[in-house]
Amino acid sequence: MKDHFSSVLILLLIILSGCSTISQFDQHAYIQTTSVKVDALRLMNLATENYSLHVAEVNFVTTQIDKVYEYERNRPKNELTLKLWDKLRDTSGHLFGWFIQRWNKEEKLSPVFIRESKKQVSEAFDIIAQLESKKIKPKQVHQ
């Protein structure tokens, strides 16, 4: 499933990389994506412990993700990036939102499950960051 997800997204990147129907590169969006990735993966490491001990950390990271999502949502021509964030946040998929929901429900998760989930979540963040980095860079005005 992971390979299929990657293949589809890479194909979309190739198709849309030259289109004018996609937003321009945004350094802030790129930095925020890579920063929240680190926070999310670090949080996932804690899932071997009781969820209830880490509610504050979960709330902090999910709020950071919500902030990035809102920023992305308000950028013009940014539908593809927004769809990727939707998948990452979705509680019925198999990425970060689902992982957090499962941790909450089961209270603790196994190290093997965490490791495999982190691979998928990390890849999803990387795809979002790669999409951003492939966008056309705005031309700088020389004075």
Answer whether residue 14 is part of any domain: no
Alpha helices per DSSP H over 107-138: 111-134
Record the pTM: 0.82
Domain of residue 83, residue span: 23-131
Q: How many CB atoms lie within 10 A of CB 2?
A: 12
Answer whether residue 15 is part of any domain: no
Answer whether residue 28 is part of any domain: yes
> What is the Cα–Cα distance from 93 to 81, expressed in whole angstroms?
17
Answer whether residue 69 is part of any domain: yes
Q: What is the pLDDT along the chain (143 residues), one digit of tens a residue?
A: 555 566 656 555 555 555 556 788 989 999 999 999 999 999 999 999 999 999 999 999 999 999 999 999 999 999 999 999 999 999 998 999 999 999 999 999 999 999 999 999 999 999 999 999 988 777 764 55
Alpha helices per DSSP H over 50-134: 55-73, 79-89, 96-106, 111-134
Domain count along the chain: 1
> What is the Cα–Cα distance from 97 to 75, expressed in whole angstroms?
23
